[in-house]
Amino acid sequence: MKYLIGAVLALCCSASSFASVCEYSSPEATSLSYQSGAYLPVYFSSYQLDLPGAPVAFLSGEGFIAAYPNNGYIGVQHLNPAQMADSLPRLAKDLTSVADFYRLIYGMSAAGDAGINPQELSLQRSLVKLDCKSDVVFFQRDDIQIIFHGAVDSAGFHKIVLMDGDNVELITVRGSRAVALQILGSIKRR
């Protein structure tokens, strides 16, 4: 009898763990209007964003990093196909665009979906922690597509993927969601 009860409990526990798996579904795009930021405009590539306040350290190179007290952080990095040469063809055989890579991962684009490796898509989504609980919002400003992927917890990073044609800028923000959205609203083409 003990073994029967143990087997039933084990079966119930495993069934509930399968029920808790949730699949990611992409949100609809929302229009985004420009809102001037609080502190200082910073230029990168052909865009600008406004810093939310005075950083305690600022490092510039191919992109920039602004550090704030209490581990606050804003980083901007241009992503190019050479940096992702291994990942692109694993997801889809003819994939050469980093922007299309992110569009496929986040489900923004159905065009060109033929030839997608479903196991690689699942792996990439798990690497960026995409599931039904993910805080993902798509924004559109003119012809610029923006993906906002909110941090899982207060120690994590909010990711903003800025896509203009095939050009991709990755903006990472450690801080509150409100600060990340303030930065997002201040992005514009210069």
For the chain, 190 residues long, give each residue's pLDDT as a single digit of tens. Answer: 454 444 444 545 444 444 567 888 878 888 888 888 778 888 888 898 999 889 999 998 888 999 998 889 999 999 988 888 888 888 888 888 899 999 999 988 754 556 888 899 999 999 999 988 899 999 988 888 999 999 988 788 999 999 998 899 999 999 999 999 999 999 988 8
d(CA 182, CA 169): 17
Looking at the domain assignment, is residue 43 inside a domain? yes
Looking at the domain assignment, is residue 149 inside a domain? yes
Looking at the domain assignment, is residue 2 inside a domain? no
**64: domain CATH number?**
3.40.1000
Looking at the domain assignment, is residue 153 inside a domain? yes
d(CA 128, CA 151): 10
Q: For the beta carbon of residue 186, count every other beta carbon within 10 angstroms.
A: 20
DSSP string, 37-62: -SSEEEEETTEEEEESS--SEEEEES
Looking at the domain assignment, is residue 4 inside a domain? no
Q: Which two tokens stand for residue 100?
A: 């299309």
d(CA 171, CA 162): 8
| DSSP bridge partners of 146 | 139, 162
Residue 34 structural domain: 25-189
Look-up of token digits 């479903």: 118
Looking at the domain assignment, is residue 12 inside a domain? no
Looking at the domain assignment, is residue 183 inside a domain? yes
pTM for this predicted structure: 0.82
- Our count of domains for the chain comes to 1
Looking at the domain assignment, is residue 3 inside a domain? no
d(CA 141, CA 29): 10
SS3 149: strand
